[in-house]
Amino acid sequence: MNIEIDFFTLWRWMLALVVLIYSGIVLWQTAAGYWAWLSSGDRYTGILRRYLMVHSLRVRARAFGADIAVCLLLCVTLGLLGWLHWLGVGGQL
């Protein structure tokens, strides 16, 4: 039984997993902190909360449509490149 282990690939996947988990935890903590801060009963925080709500309702997709289209196109391109790389590494391409 001859098992070949590529330590670079193993390191790359483990690092990606650690970064994914770490960024998810930090994002969750930050969102929970903002949620707790904005839900306080202070007068000025209530004004800020209403200000943020009104401006988030005023944002229209038409104003940012080109930016959203570019972001989606870049995501599709990145996914396609990753898929082609995966096919090339597996020797199927």
Give the pLDDT confidence of 43-78 residue by residue, as tens digits.
Answer: 888 888 888 888 877 777 677 778 888 999 999 999
- Give the global pTM: 0.55
Q: In the numeric block, which tokens belong to residue 63?
A: 């104003």
Q: What confidence tier does 80 reach under pLDDT thresholds 50, 70, 90?
A: very high
b (16+ CB within 10 A) / e for 55-78: eeeeeeeeeeeeeeeeeeeeeeee
Which residue is listed with tokens 């038409």? 62
pLDDT above 60 for 16: yes
Looking at residue 77, its pLDDT comes to 96
Helix runs in the chain, H state only? 7-38, 43-58, 65-89
